[in-house]
């Protein structure tokens, strides 16, 4: 019988049925767990492995253990991404724009020359801090949100987009905007270092200061104009309708593996696609000479100072130390930016550089000079280390090396027992202060003395200093 709220005990048959259903449910639960483990995404397992590898690499770095090649490469990638996050999207060329004279390299140079100069102080010159850059090389990369055009964050290949950089001449900012819009409209892609694919790798922009027009170079990920095909042709056609350009060039750079160089340097890698037939020309109006200032030639495949307005002051300062009638040798001479402004002072000047294109630029510029001055100037093609044979005939040596500084062969020629034992004056224009410190130290040991030095902030905002240094013995 039943009482309210109570029930009869289960029958044996009901007990057996419940036990059977419970066993089925338990089996099903165990099967679901096994299936979930079996079907778990591979990425989860990989994530665990990656985490363990990171921990292992971190421990190895702390304990001094040797890392494998893969571990070293991955460590560099992680460090690169960390630096990019720390820098953020800020323009790396403007880090010290608030006070360029407090940049670490400027302060280091002041300390160095305090202990080197005895008869005078080390003066640092600062020009315009905005709109000074008339030459720019900008990376173009494929990004998640479209085309990225700008500079790499320090120590990384992460692009900081700078369509409107305060340091750039206004024409460069306008040019970047025009190129970006044209690329987006036509579907031209930026280069991807991860896949090795894409169209546009870099932009090189040179401003003709007298007109404000831009010589544009498109560094294209292809071996030739034919290989570049329709995307390049369409982009040039679109850009050529704009009055901004002096000329449009292509540099065909098909490398698919990681390379740090911006351009391909093969002679057939450069091609003019549109615009002026004459090379872009510039006069250094800030460096007064008693003859018509030479018109320097700057096609896209030669070196040009990014801040010509400030570099004019260096050339003007250097002229003060060249005595009339001097026999001058200039190494690392480029297109003759310095030497062509000494024609009235020298008995002879031999300029040289390893870029095979520079000689044509130099000779084109000398064609504008009076015959009397033109005959004093000559050019030799070759690296600085191959030109030291001309030093025994020189009274003055001018050097303007790249950031790595003087070649060992050049320093050796200036030391006791070297081929330039009779030389008494070296005018050193440096764009790499650490290398200048090293070279000055070596020359001092060989009997040279620094008698004058000046600093020029050519890149306000960056940690950089151009230095003009006079050494005598």
Pairing between β-strand 213-220 and β-strand 466-472 as defined by DSSP bridges: unpaired
- Asked if residue 461 lies in contact with residue 165, where contact means CB atoms within 8 angstroms, the answer is no
- Strands in 319-370 per DSSP E: 326-331, 346-353
Q: Is 183 helix (H, G, I), strand (E, B) or coil?
A: helix
Both tokens assigned to 389:
């044979």
CB atoms within 10 A of CB 31: 10
C-alpha–C-alpha distance, residues 413 and 419, integer Å: 5
C-alpha–C-alpha distance, residues 170 and 165, integer Å: 9
CB atoms within 10 A of CB 258: 8
Of 108, 257, 249, nearest in space to 193 by CA: 257
Q: Is 431 a catalytic residue?
A: yes
Q: Where are the alpha helices (DSSP H) in 65-208?
A: 69-87, 104-114, 170-186
- H helices, E strands: number in the chain: 12, 17
CB atoms within 10 A of CB 449: 14
- Asked if residue 449 lies in contact with residue 113, where contact means CB atoms within 8 angstroms, the answer is no
Q: Crossing angle of helices 230-239/170-186, nearest 10°?
A: 130
Residue with tokens 């303007």: 400
Give every CB contact of residue 115 below 8 A, 6+ residues apart in sequence. Answer: none
- Beta pairing partners, 221: none
Both tokens assigned to 257:
């593996």
DSSP conformation letters of 360-394: HHHHHHHTTS-HHHHTTEEEEES-GGG-GGGGGG-
- Asked if residue 440 lies in contact with residue 408, where contact means CB atoms within 8 angstroms, the answer is no
Both tokens assigned to 326:
């001097």
C-alpha–C-alpha distance, residues 79 and 27, integer Å: 49
Q: What distance lies between CA 183 and its chain's CA centroid?
A: 23
Of 137, 130, 125, nearest in space to 94 by CA: 130
- Beta pairing partners, 353: 381
Candidate list 165, 183, 309, 431, residue with the active-site label: 431
Annotated catalytic sites, by residue?
431
């Amino acid at each position: 019988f039943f009482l309210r709220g109570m029930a009869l005990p289960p029958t044996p048959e009901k007990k057996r049925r419940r036990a059977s259903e419970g066993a089925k449910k338990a089996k099903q639960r165990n099967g679901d767990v096994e299936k979930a483990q079996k079907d778990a995404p591979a990425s989860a397992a990989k994530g665990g492995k990656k985490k363990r590898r990171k921990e292992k690499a971190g421990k190895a770095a702390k304990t001094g253990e040797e890392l494998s090649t893969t571990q070293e490469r991955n460590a560099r990638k992680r460090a690169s991404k960390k630096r990019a996050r720390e820098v953020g999207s800020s323009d790396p060329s403007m880090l010290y724009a608030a006070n360029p004279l407090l940049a670490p390299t400027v302060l280091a140079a002041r300390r160095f020359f305090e202990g080197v100069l005895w008869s005078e102080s080390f003066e640092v010159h600062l020009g315009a801090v905005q709109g000074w850059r008339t030459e720019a090389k900008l990376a173009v990369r494929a990004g998640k949100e479209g085309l990225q055009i700008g500079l790499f964050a320090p120590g990384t290949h992460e692009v900081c987009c700078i369509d409107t950089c305060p340091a750039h001449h206004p024409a460069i900012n306008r040019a970047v905007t025009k190129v970006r819009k044209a690329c987006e409209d036509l579907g031209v892609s930026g280069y991807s270092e991860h896949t090795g694919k894409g169209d546009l790798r870099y932009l090189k922009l040179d401003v003709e200061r007298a007109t404000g027009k831009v010589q544009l170079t498109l560094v294209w990920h292809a071996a030739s104009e034919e290989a570049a095909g329709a995307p390049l042709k369409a982009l040039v056609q679109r850009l050529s309708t704009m009055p901004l350009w002096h000329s449009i060039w292509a540099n065909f750079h098909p490398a698919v593996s990681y390379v740090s160089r911006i351009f391909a340097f093969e002679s057939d890698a450069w091609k003019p696609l549109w615009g002026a037939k004459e090379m872009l020309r510039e006069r250094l109006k800030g460096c007064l000479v008693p003859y018509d200032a030479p018109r320097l030639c700057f096609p896209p495949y030669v070196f040009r100072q990014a801040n010509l307005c400030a570099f004019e002051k260096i050339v003007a300062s250097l002229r003060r130390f060249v005595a009339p009638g001097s026999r001058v040798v200039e190494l690392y001479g480029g297109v003759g930016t310095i030497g062509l402004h000494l024609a009235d002072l020298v008995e002879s000047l031999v300029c040289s550089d390893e870029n095979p294109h520079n000689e044509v630029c130099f000779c084109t510029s000398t064609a504008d000079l009076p015959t009397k001055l033109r005959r004093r100037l000559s050019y030799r093609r070759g690296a600085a280390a191959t030109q030291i044979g001309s030093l025994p005939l020189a009274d003055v040596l001018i050097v303007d090396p790249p950031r790595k500084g003087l070649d060992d062969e050049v320093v050796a020629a200036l030391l006791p027992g070297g081929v330039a034992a009779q030389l008494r004056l070296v005018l050193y224009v440096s764009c790499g202060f650490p290398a200048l410190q090293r070279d000055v130290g070596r020359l001092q040991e060989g009997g040279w003395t620094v008698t004058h030095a000046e600093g020029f902030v050519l890149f306000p905002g960056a940690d950089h200093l151009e230095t003009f240094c006079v050494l005598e013995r």
